[in-house]
A and B are shown apart, each in its own frame.
Chain A
Amino acid sequence: MTPTAIQTILHALTLSLVTGTPLLLAALCCTPLQKAAARFLPCAAMPAFLAIFTTPINVVVEVPWFFMGSRMGLDETGRIFLCLTSFIWFLASFSSHNLLRKDKGKTHYLVFFLTAMAGNFGLILARDMLGYYLFFAVMSFAAYGLVIHKRTADAAKAGRIYLTLVMIGEVALFTALIILAHNSGSLALEDIAGVSHHPLTLILLFIGFGVKIGALPFHGWMVPAYQSAPIPAATVLAGAMVNAGILGWLRFLPLGQTSSSQGALLFVVAGALAALYGVIIGLSRKKAGAILGCSSISQMGLMTVIFGLGLLDYNAGISAAPILILYAVHHSLAKSTLFFGYELIERQSKPLSHLQMAAILLPALALAGLPFTSGAIAKTAFKELAVNLGEPWYGLSVFFLPITAMGTTMLMLHFISILRHSKSTGTSKNAEHSVIFPISLIATLTIIWLWPAARHSASHSLAATTLLQALWPVIGGCLLFLSWQRISFNKKVPVGVQEKQTGFEALLITATKLMQEKKWQKPQSGRLHSYRHRLIPHLRRTEKIMGRWKVVGLSYLALCLYLLFLLL
């Protein structure tokens, strides 16, 4: 065997291990070995780290027999996403470990958690459409088990909405993929580049991945799901899995190689609306998980806008792609840190200390774009993009960005105040998990600064004007929040939006009612039956008449004469 062959095999092995290890552990969890397997839960993400460091960029391993011909590999984007994702999964698995101590539905949780993890890793490694789709589906459906893990009525409802939307997304994605595969004539992701996109494909892809990131009409699942899932699960949903949607867009509508002005408009409008909408509904929520969900809707809306701007033309695409990735990394880290912080209150027996509060405040304000945080860097990059694009985008961004920043600030402060007022329910004083939050926090605060690709934006964000620009919305948000809180706490704002049926649920119920069985049933067979019964006496009578000698004789005669006539 040549060294290259051995290398290829080694790479294939590493890449398979990335998805294989969680799957294997999931399988083990169904067996009596569950206890041992659960102990190895944090190890499930290890091969992903291994792959990040050993597998060279742009190596593609072909596994032709698997599924419809599978290709795996790591490219630049993939590596970043794998880094990010595996980090969050790793932390979440630690935190799950604690959660599981006294949980009855341990097996279910472990299986779904690990399967979702495998799906998430797999889709990052996939270099063909169907591989992506496969792992995306695995991840989405496995996450359903996480959403409804608590088995409360709320969880069930959240699960139902989630499943409905996931299904819609799957179908849209499936349709889009068929069209893409048909147009490009190949399943490889690389071949999508040159394909001209039909508007329909754009819409379908928007729906397909938009469901995952909670893009506007498909956001319904996010809030209830974050709220009812166990916190580690919500963390991965918010920190890791949402990125699958962004990555999906990047894979199937590669920025810099795709342009569509109509598509851009769709993405920008939907994203901008989501960014505002998330903030508005978030302020009416009373639960920390829900507020984080609303914040995700809003933040993902911003990313949608970035993506939409990237679709404007090729150059915009080339500059938008790294910004989008940057934003995704920033958001994921910050959001998962918030979740880990939120988790503290569920774990520990005493209320949050001031230090802890301050620590949670940091990632929260990072989301709002507080200077010196990752958020500031991301926003600076965003602004630069808008500058490059020129009018009218620049003008709009000047108007738009501060508003969202203010909104996010308000939302985050709302979150903190909710945290402060909520009671601690946990009993644990375990040091092990108290490590998670600091690690995550440190990562949030430092990684972007250390990241070479972001260095340019990072240095720009330190400029005085930028600092000021970033600061005033945060301060404004704080002030607004304080005044709003005064009003709302006095008036006890009714939490109406929360309990209503979502649109999809209402649709589903109506559809089911429409299809009542009774309307479709035909009373035909009964009628036929009675006809038959009415016919029988007639048959009997006719046969009787035909048996009379006179009738027979006459027909005999007639037949004879007729034959005679015919034969003569």
Chain B
Amino acid sequence: MVLQGVFIIVSLFTLLSALMVVTHRNLFISALFLVSTFFGVAALYVLLEAEFLAVAQVLVYIGAIATLIIFAIMLSRGMMQGRTSPYNAQAMWAGIGSVVLGLLLLYVVAFQVDWPVTDAKVPADTISNLGAALVGHYVIPFEVASVLLLAALIGAVMIAREKEY
């Protein structure tokens, strides 16, 4: 009962901030709302008993991604707000389409499918298992991801740096 109440509050918070993210005219504000959305999601993770992921979420999304985004926004501050409408020509259609899609999805996940839910508990040593799995059974994806990160890092530097020509 309590949990459900908490869940409802958290998810409402999350969704509302998400809505602000996509609607707010001021990009900086919506970036801040993005941060709060991330927080909400992290809270959801906690409710899902995935503390590790929650913290990782905070660390990566807020600590790195959101910060980066805000940084970029500041760098290009001049043309962030005002000047032109934040929406493009197809905004209305997009809205309608999105709503329809959302309704469809809700319908599907809520009523159509009944998922094979088990009420097994999360084992206590999940995190150590996770670590073992990351360097054991899932080592290839793990390594690939790290290589991807490195490539992205170098690529970002190469793309963004001032070309002297």
A-B complex is real: no
Q: Using a CB–CB distance below 8 Å, which chain A residues touch chain B?
A: none
